[in-house]
Amino acid sequence: MSPRPARRRVAVVGTGAIVTGSHLPALAAHADRTELVAAVDVDPARLDAFRARVPGDVAGYTSAGAMLDAVRPDLVLVGTPPSLHREQTVAALKAGAWVLCEKPLCLSLAEYDDIAAAEDVSGAYASVIFQHRYGSGAAHARELIASGELGAPLVAHCQTTWHRDAAYYAVPWRGRWSTEGGGPTMGHGIHQYDLLLHLLGPWTEIRAMASRLVHDTESEDVSTALVRFENGALATVVNSVLSPAEMSRLRVDCADATVELTHLYGHGNDDWTYTPARHVAPGRAAAWRTPAADVPSSHTAQLGAVLDAWDAGTRPPGSGGEARATLEFAAALYKAAFTGRPVRSGEIGAGDPFYSAMHGGHPDWAPTGRP
Ligand SMILES: NC(=O)c1ccc[n+]([C@@H]2O[C@H](COP(=O)([O-])OP(=O)(O)OC[C@H]3O[C@@H](n4cnc5c(N)ncnc54)[C@H](O)[C@@H]3O)[C@@H](O)[C@H]2O)c1
């Protein structure tokens, strides 16, 4: 039997809602492979409260740089507001640590390319948290679609219809281009269209609209898009925080079956259904059911996949081209919405205004959408 790999020394940067609610349980679930050794927060009261609730003697810091110098962790989990992600991810990579950073990984393609350059220098990797790609349901659907078992993908709908109130947007970093990077396109629907891209592969063309209909924000509170994929499939995408009946939904009509996922903030096997086309023999459709072992989508599942990659000596999922593709989709959706023109994959390079910022140089954009 090969020896069990050593436990990775982990630091968290940011001790707010997502780190406490999702990263801590993930670390606990992988306690045989991880050890939380340090926590960073600029808010000393939050830091103290966090350290008091975790087991063991976790060192506390109010600066990520000081923590990296003193602790030299193996893995850094970044859960700060989005405008800090690039700087903290690059610093951790330069200190030789792997990074698992909350979405969005950064605010623009230019910032992503800084992270990629830091990866090249350090040899460490940065992955972005998109927990809905992970777990048994998503893995099974991807395998069925990629293998051709369901026939060619033809039409898809990707719907993030969530609801956020004024109190939610009272948090200063939310709804602003410079701190959140955008509205529900960057902050909410990004999970579901990341999963759409994971299932359908590269896209070629996008047309889009965005509006701010309700909230007192800089960025949009709803966006819609039409997408053409390289495999020929057409898709609709909705990213909304204005929808009282909240739902996350993905539907892919393939030549032989419709795949549907209906959930809110996470899915298990029972949330996936496969409906065969009339011409499909019943025995064939029975084999599509998701296998019995239920691994829900979660930070726990994604952290496990990153640790597996580390043990195998490979680039972790959610890093490199995968991370960039989802950010490029966001940039293209904004460019299409702002310019009113279709945007092609690959066209947003250095020099394009939408390369440096999702608002393409128009932070004062005021999409009312109202007559
Ligand atoms: N994956 C998901 O499902 C999911 C869900 C919610 C939020 N998020 C993402 O998680 C991130 C954090 O969101 P949240 O809701 O936990 O926010 P939060 O405000 O609850 O927590 C952020 C924490 O970062 C700390 N912080 C601020 N500046 C810092 C700095 N320079 N160094 C260290 N700490 C600093 C704050 O004091 C706060 O404790 C965002 O990027 C958000 O989009 C992801």
User: For residue 85, how far is its CA from the centre of ligand 1 (angstroms)?
Assistant: 10
Residue 268 inside a domain? The answer is yes
pLDDT band at 4 (very low <50, low <70, confident <90, very high): low
Residue 127 inside a domain? The answer is yes
Domain shared by 191 and 116, yes or no:
no
CATH number for the domain including 174?
3.30.360.10
Domain shared by 224 and 346, yes or no:
yes
Q: Is the pLDDT of residue 236 over 90?
A: yes
Neighbours of 209 (CB within 10 A): 16
Residue 365 inside a domain? The answer is no
Q: What is the mean pLDDT of residues 145-164?
A: 98
Q: What is the mean pLDDT of residues 84-108?
A: 98
pLDDT higher for 368 or 261? 261
pLDDT band at 363 (very low <50, low <70, confident <90, very high): confident
pLDDT band at 53 (very low <50, low <70, confident <90, very high): very high
Q: Is the pLDDT of residue 289 over 90?
A: no
Q: Is the pLDDT of residue 371 over 50?
A: no
Q: What are the tens digits of pLDDT across the range 11-45?
A: 999 999 999 999 999 999 999 999 999 999 999 99
Domain shared by 305 and 288, yes or no:
no
Q: Is the pLDDT of residue 341 over 80?
A: yes
Residue 178 inside a domain? The answer is yes
Q: Which amino acid is at 194?
A: D
pTM for the whole structure = 0.96
> Taking a C-beta distance cutoff of 8 angstroms, is the pair 283, 253 a contact?
no
Domain shared by 127 and 182, yes or no:
no
Ligand 1, closest atom to CA 187?
43
Cis ω on the peptide bond leading into residue 104 (within 30° of 0)?
A: yes
Q: What is the mean pLDDT of residues 165-189?
A: 96
Domain shared by 114 and 177, yes or no:
no
Q: Is the pLDDT of residue 254 over 70?
A: yes
Mutate to test the pocket of ligand 1, among 20, 41, 134 (most ligand atoms within 8 A of CB): 41
- In sequence order, what DSSP letters do the residues of 143-161 get, joined into one string? HHHHTTTT--EEEEEEEEE
Domain shared by 107 and 143, yes or no:
no
Domain shared by 292 and 335, yes or no:
yes
Domain shared by 255 and 178, yes or no:
yes
Domain shared by 204 and 287, yes or no:
yes
Give how many domains the chain has, as a whole number. 2
pLDDT mean across residues, the chain: 95
Q: Is the pLDDT of residue 292 over 90?
A: no
Residue 3 inside a domain? The answer is no
User: For residue 27, how far is its CA from the centre of ligand 1 (angstroms)?
Assistant: 17
Q: What is the mean pLDDT of residues 237-253?
A: 98
Domain shared by 142 and 287, yes or no:
yes
User: For residue 273, how far is its CA from the centre of ligand 1 (angstroms)?
Assistant: 34
Residues 84 and 63: their CA atoms lie apart, in Å, by 12
CATH number for the domain including 79?
3.40.50.720
Domain that holds residue 223: 136-296+325-356
Q: Is the pLDDT of residue 369 over 80?
A: no
Q: Is the pLDDT of residue 1 over 60?
A: no
Residues 199 and 177: their CA atoms lie apart, in Å, by 29
Residue 361 inside a domain? The answer is no
User: For residue 80, how far is its CA from the centre of ligand 1 (angstroms)?
Assistant: 3
pLDDT band at 6 (very low <50, low <70, confident <90, very high): confident
What CA dihedral angle connects 336, 109, 86 and 177, to 10 degrees?
A: -20
Residue 366 inside a domain? The answer is no
Domain shared by 179 and 227, yes or no:
yes
pLDDT of residue 10: 98
Domain shared by 182 and 273, yes or no:
yes
Q: Is the CB of 86 within 6 Å of ligand 1? A: no
Residue 369 inside a domain? The answer is no
Distance (Å) of CA 66 to CA 15, 113, 185, 305: 16, 25, 34, 29
